[in-house]
Structure 1
Amino acid sequence: MTLKHHQPECILDLRASLGEGPVWIEAEKSLYFVDIVEARVHRFTPETGAVKSWTAPKRLGFLLPVNDGTFLAGLVDGLHRFDPKIGEFSAHTEVEPEKPGNRLNDGCVDPEGRIWFGTMDDGEENDTGSIYRVVHTPEGLSITHHDEGYTVSNGPAVSPCGKILYVCDSPEQTIFAFDIDAAGNLSGERVFAKISNGYPDGVVTDSEGTVWCGTWGGARVSRFRPDGSELPPIPMPVSNVTKVAFGGDDLKTVFVTTARKGLDEDILKKEPQAGSLFAFRTDVAGSPQNTFRLNG
């Protein structure tokens, strides 16, 4: 697979309804990602072009690697374990049972092996979403509530140093930043960047701390320096760009998930590969994919 610098090419013509949450698993040389609407997990191996897919019991927003070879998945109702070796999901911890209109949306793992994830109003109208942190203790998973008031929480992402958390509220067209202390507490909420053309979706950071943001309705990957100033975006051939992941042997291949959701037939005729997986090369390596740390 020969890719060009900052020139996206379709590498998997999947046409997902809502492709999201790409993560590069170095041990498998493969990219895992989800289709939220279709409740599907996909694994793509670029070297061979092989694709394997699984159906989740419910819609899922993210799939994050655990240090025992499994994944922790954010389904509509809470956290589930997924074992790709046997292809099975098992319910783990319910989240926000008192808010049946909410669902889990996006997540990441920080350098300390903690998971950060957000919830959102499934109808995308009410600001009932929150941000949570997950750690593993001898008693099991410990989930801590940290912030609230999000209609569609997105991202989140952590800086390479592990001291800054980036979170989007997509309808507000805003990326927020928080400071993370040694104990994993958040403080210093501030506006990191605003997006005027489109809506910020999933964000990740590269090895230099640049924030890469999939831009829903903006047909581009937006990029911001650590100080919040904007770098030239990467134009995409489809409107709904959801999230990127860095992979390949040098972590300089950028994989991009996209979506067909929300596009009418006229737009889909112009963007037939909407929902597919794209990739291009870049000059700064991404940060290695962190894994959720099980203690013991």
Structure 2
Amino acid sequence: MEASHLLSVGAELGEGPVWIGDALWFVDIKRLHLYRHRPESGTTDRWDAPEMVGWVLPSHRGDMIVGLQSGPHRFAPDTGSFTRIATIDADLPDNRLNDAAVDARGSIFFGTMDNEETRPNGCVYLLDHGAVRKTVLDATIITNGPAVAPDCSHLFHVDTLARTITRHAIAGDGTLGPGDPFLAFSGDEGHPDGAICDSEGGVWIGFYGGWAARRYAPDGTMTDEVRFPVANVTKVALGGPDGRTAYATTARQGLDAAALEAQSLAGDVFTFPVAVAAAPLVPANS
């Protein structure tokens, strides 16, 4: 299958797509932009964040929770204001928040990483009812995902530079168990980037430098591959009226002048249909 072009934004590092209500939300991490696109009307809104912004998720309070570089914040779209919930990695000023997922209980798992992509300073945290705690996952240079199974049984953690994904059991209090190998990739496929789970527990992964997004069944078998006209596919979201429309963010980051000329749509948003619908999105409990 080939992805179709949806929206021109030319993001330096498009990431964090998520379908909320009738709109696709996503971010441009490096340009500090937060976007909302309504496909039905074709309208797009943009807000400027005060720091690099990795993700956006809905809150049960009716506002949003976003992952800014220094920690999770509340975001009010009507005023454009940001209010800090917690400070993360204050002793690591080069770290930033990178990716996140909300589970069926409303808890948010989110990862951090070294913005220079050289030091193993990235960890996975849990935000639950306003409190943040670090999980037991090993330190990583670039954390991605995490993706959470729709029944909250497992979390999938992506180690982008190691090109591996591990599966961790989730206890009732959100504690993560040891990692079991789930997938490992060669250099030919690119680097596994953002990951999500659909309603059947399948895992969709964007491949940075891989020109593709792929879906894997819970047993690790690849079931779908979607090709893109751009190399850096960062993450997929499932949404639309029936939950069976996929949206994918991409990035211009790391492309030289020749690559940018050849990939004129790099950094834009793409779409394609899927057979398995999205898992229900639960507002965060914080």
Task: Give the shorter-chain TM-score range.
Answer: over 0.9
Distance 1:284 1:78 in 2: 33
Distance 2:155 2:19 in 1: 20
Residue in structure 2 matched with residue 227 of structure 1 by the alignment: 219
> Are 2:178 and 1:183 equivalent residues in the alignment?
no
Residue in structure 1 matched with residue 254 of structure 2 by the alignment: 262
1:100 CA drift (Å): 1.6
The percentage of counterpart residues that share the same residue type is: 40
Question: Match of 1:180, as an amino acid?
Answer: I
Whether contact under 8 Å (2:52, 2:96) holds in the other structure is no
Distance 1:93 1:134 in 2: 9
Residue in structure 1 matched with residue 197 of structure 2 by the alignment: 205
Q: 1:31 aligns with which of 24, 28, 31?
A: 24
**Structure 2: 5+ residue runs without aligned partners?**
none
Three-state SS of the structure 1 residue aligned to 2:259 is helix
Whether contact under 8 Å (1:61, 1:73) holds in the other structure is yes
Residue in structure 2 matched with residue 162 of structure 1 by the alignment: 152
Q: 1:250 aligns with which of 233, 242, 256?
A: 242
Distance 2:282 2:266 in 1: 29
Distance 1:263 1:222 in 2: 22
Structure 2 counterparts to residues 1-296 of structure 1, below 5 A: 6-26=1-21, 29-136=22-129, 141-146=130-135, 147-196=137-186, 197-294=189-286
Distance 1:45 1:13 in 2: 14
1:75 CA drift (Å): 0.9
Distance 1:101 1:44 in 2: 30
1:7 CA drift (Å): 3.1
- Deviations along 1:10-56, whole A, 9 cap, x unmatched? 11011111110011112xx1111000010000110000110110000
1:194 CA drift (Å): 1.1
Question: Match of 1:49, as an amino acid?
Answer: G
Identify the range of structure 1 (250-259 vs 99-108) with the bigger mean alpha-carbon deviation: 99-108
TM-score (norm 2): 0.96
1:195 CA drift (Å): 2.0
Distance 2:166 2:55 in 1: 20
**Structure 1: 5+ residue runs without aligned partners?**
1-5
1:268 CA drift (Å): 1.2
Whether contact under 8 Å (1:63, 1:71) holds in the other structure is yes
Question: Match of 2:177, as an amino acid?
Answer: S
Residue-pair matches, total: 283
- Deviations along 1:183-234, whole A, 9 cap, x unmatched? 2111131121012221111000111111000100000002211011222421
1:128 CA drift (Å): 1.2
Three-state SS of the structure 2 residue aligned to 1:93 is coil
Distance 1:293 1:7 in 2: 37
Whether contact under 8 Å (1:23, 1:289) holds in the other structure is no
Distance 1:209 1:236 in 2: 24
Distance 2:122 2:2 in 1: 35
1:116 CA drift (Å): 0.1
1:293 CA drift (Å): 1.2
Distance 1:188 1:93 in 2: 26
Distance 1:151 1:171 in 2: 7
Three-state SS of the structure 1 residue aligned to 2:260 is helix
TM-score (norm 1): 0.93
Distance 2:195 2:85 in 1: 26
1:101 CA drift (Å): 2.2
Whether contact under 8 Å (1:7, 1:281) holds in the other structure is no
Whether contact under 8 Å (2:245, 2:273) holds in the other structure is yes
